[in-house]
Amino acid sequence: MALTVSVIGIGYLGSVHAACMADLGHTVIAVDVDAEKIAALAGGHSPIYEPGLDELLARVLPTGRLTFTTELADAAAADVHFICVGTPQREGEPAADVSAVFAVGEGLAPYLRGDALVVGKSTVPVGTAAALRARMQQRALEGVSVRLAWNPEFLQEGHAITDTVSPNRFVYGVDPRTRDADVALLDEVYAVPLSAGMPRIVTDYATAELVKVAANAFLATKISFINAMSEVCEAAGGDVVALADAIGADERIGRAFLGAGVGFGGGCLPKDIRAFMARAGELGADQALTFLREVDAINFRRRSRMVDLAREELGGSLRDRRVTVLGAAFKPDSDDVRDSPALDVAQACRSAGAKVVVHDPKAVGTARAAHPLLECTEDLEAALRGAEIVLLLTAWRQYRDMDPGWAVTLVETPTVVDGRNALDVGSWRAAGWRYRALGRPTI
Ligand code: UDX
């Protein structure tokens, strides 16, 4: 049965979630405090680059099932309220800032109907759901017993729509007092994907909150594991790509997320592992997660190694040398530059005196906003022209498909450092390039 749902917080998660809920047939009221963002989305323009999102908006907006507002009061009619606000890292601290989650919950509480269900989707430190429910209860109307569930999302930027409508599992963290009714209502929300056989796990608040951060901690660990192997390969003359293929063939290990290179960035993995460590410390379980400090450190070392490799290739100094950085986004198919390894390396080269030009097919706008002093362009030819070294730092298809025979005619010196192990070594070397990569032997 189609429901009326509100989606509060229209960032990466919320904008995709709202559009997907409308596409599943629900009536959606999307709420955000940012009037500019709301106006853009209502006009069919997504404020982020996410493949398929503009097309999805064009499909659902004419149905009238997706409306936007800046007023929480407009969400009062909803059967289900999704909280999708951000939980960024606190300024100067490893812990997550959950103030937006509490502000939204407390703001919504007086408008709640007795039969409505609030569903948290934001990534939060364990314990937040229980605290939020108590705080909302204090502000709810008399006679209303607040119903809250935690339903983490696992969306990967660049695949956000598929990950929302067909994730590989649904996780419901529910209150034992209202368990059956809450599960039944969530099952109605996700009736379409559930009918396709999608598994769902029903558990308590704490486990549901932990599932999300544990999944991200595991993924970050997997990436740092292969990057640690990359360091050993560099010392021993081994090839980390062949090593990843070989260990990844064992299905207990799996090849996914064994992509060695400049490591992980983005709005989730780095801040989630730090917030997880901080929360474990508060709970007295800090020893259990000290290994994540090492995971974070390995990740950062890869960025410095990239700068060192560039310096080494340029004869010992980056001063006044023309460096082309391919990629600004933290990963391909996204314009997100939050904690982007590519921009970090570009900035470090610039600080060391290099003349850096950054190219990205989609993230030039966000890169300029984050680093106004970095020269950024969407023109690949212009970016390559005159380069004394090319650093590939985001594995966009455009770079993987680039003809090395064309690129070699533009640069001053044909040296490429492949920071994502994304290029075909043979064809780049055959076109006259000196090819270096992280964790691979130099020829
Ligand atoms: C991540 C989780 O994958 C997702 O489930 C969660 O909901 C949010 O956080 P996302 O941040 O979109 O998603 O990116 P992801 O695809 O996980 O990549 C994270 C970073 O790791 C990127 O910088 C990527 O380039 C890097 N990465 C990924 C590697 O360095 N090697 C790999 O093998 C895979």
pLDDT tens-digit profile of 330-358?
Answer: 999 999 999 999 999 999 999 999 999 99
Residues with CB under 6 A from ligand 1: 153-157, 216, 219, 223, 257-259, 261, 263-266, 268-269, 330-331
Distances, alpha carbon 45 to alpha carbons 41, 55, 332, 388, in Å: 5, 10, 20, 39
- Assign 256 to helix, strand or coil: coil
**Best mutation site among 121, 124, 151, 156 for ligand 1 pocket (most ligand atoms within 8 Å of CB):** 156
Classify burial at 134, counting beta carbons within 10 Å of its beta carbon; exposed 0-12, middle 13-18, buried 19 or more.
exposed
Average pLDDT for 10-36: 96
What pLDDT is attached to residue 336? 96
Measured in degrees and rounded to the nearest 5, phi and psi for residue 307 equal -65, -40
What pLDDT is attached to residue 442? 83
Q: Kindly name the residue from 20, 84, 233, 268 that is annotated as catalytic.
A: 268
CA 67 to chain CA centroid, Å, is 26
What pLDDT is attached to residue 1? 80
Atom of ligand 1 nearest to the CA of 340: 23
pLDDT band at residue 237 under the 50/70/90 scheme? very high
Q: Which of 143-152, 155-164, 174-183, 365-374 shows the lowest mean pLDDT across its residues?
A: 155-164
Task: Identify any residues that bridge with 200 across adjacent strands, giving them in sequence order.
Answer: 170
CB within 8 Å of 285: residues ≥ 6 apart: none
Report the distance separating Cα 37 and Cα 8, nearest Å: 13
Q: Which of 39, 43, 37 is nearest to 57 (CA)?
A: 43
Q: Is the pLDDT of residue 280 over 90?
A: yes
Q: Is the pLDDT of residue 360 over 80?
A: yes
Residue predicted with more confidence, 443 or 66: 66
CB within 8 Å of 99: residues ≥ 6 apart: none
Atom of ligand 1 nearest to the CA of 220: 21
Q: Which of 11, 3, 5, 59 is nearest to 29 (CA)?
A: 5
* pLDDT-above-70 percentage for the chain: 100
- The owner of tokens 């997880």 is 276
Other CB atoms closer than 10 Å to residue 39's CB: what's the count? 13
What pLDDT is attached to residue 194? 95
Instruction: Tell how far the Cα of 331 is from the centroid of ligand 1, in angstroms.
Output: 8
Looking at residue 315, the DSSP 8-state letter turns out to be: T
Q: Is the pLDDT of residue 294 over 90?
A: yes
Instruction: Tell how far the Cα of 156 is from the centroid of ligand 1, in angstroms.
Output: 7
pLDDT tens-digit profile of 112-129?
Answer: 999 999 999 999 999 999
Instruction: Tell how far the Cα of 392 is from the centroid of ligand 1, in angstroms.
Output: 17
* Tokens coding 354: 């290099």
pLDDT tens-digit profile of 50-82?
Answer: 999 999 999 999 999 999 999 999 999 999 999
Instruction: Tell how far the Cα of 261 is from the centroid of ligand 1, in angstroms.
Output: 13
Q: Is the pLDDT of residue 271 over 90?
A: yes
Judge contact between 148 and 129, C-beta under 8 A. Answer: yes
Give nearest CA residue, ligand 1 atom 5. Answer: 154
268 is catalytic: yes
pTM score: 0.96
Other CB atoms closer than 10 Å to residue 443's CB: what's the count? 8
Give nearest CA residue, ligand 1 atom 19. Answer: 264
What average pLDDT is seen over the chain?
A: 96
pLDDT tens-digit profile of 397-426?
Answer: 999 999 999 999 999 999 999 999 999 999
Instruction: Tell how far the Cα of 264 is from the centroid of ligand 1, in angstroms.
Output: 6
pLDDT band at residue 20 under the 50/70/90 scheme? very high
Q: Is the pLDDT of residue 443 over 80?
A: no
Full strand arrangement of the beta sheet holding 66-69: 66-69, 27-31, 4-8, 80-83, 117-120, 147-150, 170-173, 200-203
Atom of ligand 1 nearest to the CA of 256: 33
Measured in degrees and rounded to the nearest 5, phi and psi for residue 16 equal -70, -45
